[in-house]
Amino acid sequence: MKKYKGKINRFLYKNDNGFGVALFVLFENEKKSIIITGPISIMRMGIIYNITGQEVEDIKRNQKSFLIHSFSQVKDFDREGLIKYLSSPTFPTVGKKLAENIVKHFKEDVFKKILENKNELLLIKDMTEEKASIIFDVVKEKFGDNKVLDIFIENNLKIEFLNLLQRDYEDPNIIEQILKEDFYRYASENKLNPFLEVDRICLTFGIEEDDEKRVSWFANEFVKGLLFKEGNTYTTLNELQKKLRVQFNLPENIIIQKLLYAKKEKILYFKDEKIYTRESFEDEQYIAKELFDLSNRSNYIKTINDFDKKILEVEKFISSRNGIQDFKYNAEQVEAIRNFIENDISIITGGPGTGKTTVITGIVKMYELIYADDNFAITAPTGRAAGKIKDDSGYKTSTIHRLLQYSGNDSFEANESKPIYKNLVVIDECSMIDNHLFASLLRGIKGIKKLLLVGDIEQLPSVSYGNLYEDLIVCEQFKTTRLIKNNRQINNLGEKNSIIDLSNAIKNESIDNFDFENTNNVDFIFLNDSQNILDSIKKSYTNLNPSNILEQLNDIQIIAPMYKEKLGIDNLNNLIQNLVNPTLSKVYKRYDTEFRVNDKVMYIENDPVLELSNGDVGYISRLNFIGEKLKTANVVFNDRELEMSLNSFQKINLNYSCSIHKTQGSEYKNTIIVLDAENKNSNFMINKKMLYTAITRAKEKLVIISDKDLFIKACKRKSKERLTTLKESIYKMNL
């Protein structure tokens, strides 16, 4: 870490979150300056600061800058420093001679004494009333009451949080009041993280360790963690107390008493011995109410006399669009389209190959024919899923985050106060959608007259809390069509499709009867030794890997449920990278992972600026270095080449191998599934839904490399049921 002393000459850039870029003039040599960056917009011009940080490459400006880690106002100067500061342009009308007289008169604590008695300035030789007034005003501005900032600096508290407070409130008294009385609530409403940094601020500003507010907000944080870990929308008092007893050395009855504050302030909801976060409870209630209201609006006609004629028109459209001569929907698919017409909310569930995407296309076309309306949205949780519908149908599609104009930090530009309006909303891959995202969609899109939810109930539920899609089907309040007939029962060679047979065996719990010896497009490589498994992975990948980089993105994928150990995702990525993309030029290293030109990569966040979705897959086309440091990287996503800053590049992972959740919404020509019997977590974590989801990613060829006993047990292991109350909330609405 380097240190400098000086003052800001001028700001070059500031944003609303407190980040800034400024020209910083050094105190010891005012002819020398540096560019400083970081959470500095709270710093004031004309004040002398000590700053600590490190030099970094400023990619946008193609220059070095100084990234500030901490700063503090200089209040104690030596004699020469005081004279220099007082005779600087910060103090107009004060020359060197008068500055020397001021220092000689006060000797020490100069600024403190001026603030305590303005009139004492008039006793100094060569001082005038006008000059005394100017000096006092500058000292008051620069050294007056700024105790909140001083407290943040002295205790190394997160300056970014204070920046946000000052953005929202001009009055320092209000800021201090919030910090002393309930900064927890402000932080929660503004989604400030990490929580422990919020807690440090509250403790510093005087909250007692066992205060009911602190206990309640810690309880909220614990409940959030429990819900995310288990996928439930509520937990129990017993589970919460276990966490609170570790954090607070308090008797059980005192903890319960302090939790009354959380109940009163609606930090947590307590219902029927269940404990919800405010978000999880209100999301369930909102979803139930919105779906109830939509079901009872009777927006559109529910029957049409020429349905069969319209179906023929739709089938002709599909034939023309997809180049399929005399295309015909089967009976299940026709029923799905009819159910859509007859119900304002309809659901379709079906496995791979049952024609869900083709039915979506037909439904949207039927909607256009009947209602002569093009105000609809077709959306999905991932870019790959949305892109598949667009490619098959020709209709415009988008991810949910893009449709709602995601702005970062779990916020959407399309919300209840500024909604967009659509008459029809079609959502694919609904098993991936958590309660909060669906509630956000219902808040951000108004005027919905028809809602179509499509997915596969057998797949994994969402990463975050809730079991939305399954709950909506199981509650039996919305018309559901189950597509069973499979159009991929025969593969491209006219043989039986063993991928479909295997997925059905897992779904129907008949794996014991599956014929592992006689399969067409599924290879089982059952091994026990991890080194032998690694050798088999390399051999299988080499045999299936296309030579073209673009084909590699969609034509082959290794799927593994674990990240660590020899057969985990991290090691498999390094293994395959060295196999298919050896080092030929300069590489960028992040911890133990190297990134090379032509590496297959995945973006792991929703980014509204770069217009990238979590799960988008691409490849590195160029790495741009300044000396030994990476400046930018060119990465191709969805036929777009983006020059990414180092900060954005940190959100990229290698993607030769990835998790099951990350592959949802995607299909691959060739899929290799790797299970690790040596990882102790495998024996209780891998279940039938995980395997079903992984297996159904494969379109033409599937290779499973695993210990046989582990694979069979995982096919039979049911996933832990998620605890939710959405079904009950819907039932109550319909009473």
pLDDT attached to residue 170: 79
pLDDT (tens digit, 9 = 90+) per residue, 650-707? 999 999 999 999 999 899 999 999 999 988 888 889 999 999 999 999 999 999 999 9
Q: What confidence category does residue 610 fall into, taking pLDDT thresholds of 50, 70 and 90?
A: confident
Mean residue pLDDT of the chain comes to: 91
304 burial type by CB count under 10 A (0-12 exposed, 13-18 middle, 19+ buried): middle
Order of all β-strands in the sheet with 617-626: 640-645, 629-637, 617-626, 600-603, 652-654
pLDDT at 283 over 70: yes
pLDDT at 116 over 90: no
pLDDT at 588 over 90: yes
pLDDT attached to residue 380: 96
What's the rounded Cα separation, in Å, for the pair 586 and 630?
10
User: Cα torsion at 581, 584, 590, 593 (round to 10°)?
Assistant: 30
Q: What confidence category does residue 324 fall into, taking pLDDT thresholds of 50, 70 and 90?
A: confident
Lowest mean pLDDT among 298-312, 445-459, 647-661: 298-312
pLDDT attached to residue 626: 84
pLDDT at 109 over 90: no
pLDDT attached to residue 735: 66
Q: What is the mean pLDDT of residues 621-643?
A: 90
Most confident range, picked from 55-59, 196-200, 516-520: 196-200
Q: What is the mean pLDDT of residues 7-27?
A: 87
Q: What is the mean pLDDT of residues 561-584?
A: 92
User: Would you state the structure tokens that stand for residue 380, as one six-digit string?
Assistant: 């999905």
pLDDT at 714 over 80: yes
pLDDT attached to residue 61: 55
User: Cα torsion at 88, 89, 91, 95 (round to 10°)?
Assistant: 60
Residue-wise DSSP of 459-487: S---SSS--HHHHHHHTT-SEEEEE---T
User: Would you state the structure tokens that stand for residue 643, as one six-digit string?
Assistant: 């020059």
pLDDT attached to residue 301: 67
pLDDT at 195 over 80: yes
Q: What confidence category does residue 609 fall into, taking pLDDT thresholds of 50, 70 and 90?
A: confident
pLDDT (tens digit, 9 = 90+) per residue, 459-515? 999 999 999 999 999 999 999 999 999 877 666 666 788 999 999 999 999 999 999
pLDDT at 292 over 90: yes
What's the rounded Cα separation, in Å, for the pair 663 and 572?
16
Per-residue CA distances from 135 to 37, 141, 426 (Å): 30, 10, 67
What's the rounded Cα separation, in Å, for the pair 269 and 284?
12
What's the rounded Cα separation, in Å, for the pair 424 and 422?
6
Share of the chain above pLDDT 90, in %: 68
Q: Which of 38, 6, 8 is nearest to 23 (CA)?
A: 8
Determine contact, residues 537/706, Cβ cutoff 8 Å: no
User: Residue holding tokens 């909250």?
Assistant: 207
Q: Which of 708, 725, 601, 585 is nearest to 651 (CA)?
A: 601
Contacts of 532 (CB under 8 A, 6+ apart): none
pLDDT attached to residue 500: 93
Radius of gyration of the chain (CA): 32
Lowest mean pLDDT among 254-258, 322-326, 334-338: 322-326
DSSP, collapsed to helix, strand or coil, labels residue 577 as helix
pLDDT (tens digit, 9 = 90+) per residue, 334-356? 999 999 999 999 999 999 889 99
Task: Provide the residue type at 581 as one letter.
Answer: N
Q: What confidence category does residue 638 fall into, taking pLDDT thresholds of 50, 70 and 90?
A: confident
pLDDT attached to residue 579: 94
Q: What is the mean pLDDT of residues 531-558?
A: 93
pLDDT attached to residue 58: 62
Determine contact, residues 35/73, Cβ cutoff 8 Å: no
Handedness of CA 620, 624, 630, 633 (dihedral sign): negative
Peptide bond into 194 cis (omega under 30): yes
Percent helix, strand, coil in the chain (nearest 5)? 45, 20, 35
The 10 Å Cβ neighbour count of residue 716 is 13
pLDDT (tens digit, 9 = 90+) per residue, 51-74? 998 888 665 556 788 998 888 888
pLDDT at 150 over 90: no
Q: What confidence category does residue 179 fall into, taking pLDDT thresholds of 50, 70 and 90?
A: very high
Determine contact, residues 654/601, Cβ cutoff 8 Å: yes
Pairing of strands 345-350, 450-455: parallel
Cα 124-130-133 angle, rounded to 5 deg: 80
Q: What confidence category does residue 427 fall into, taking pLDDT thresholds of 50, 70 and 90?
A: very high
pLDDT attached to residue 493: 63
pLDDT attached to residue 71: 85
pLDDT at 629 over 90: no
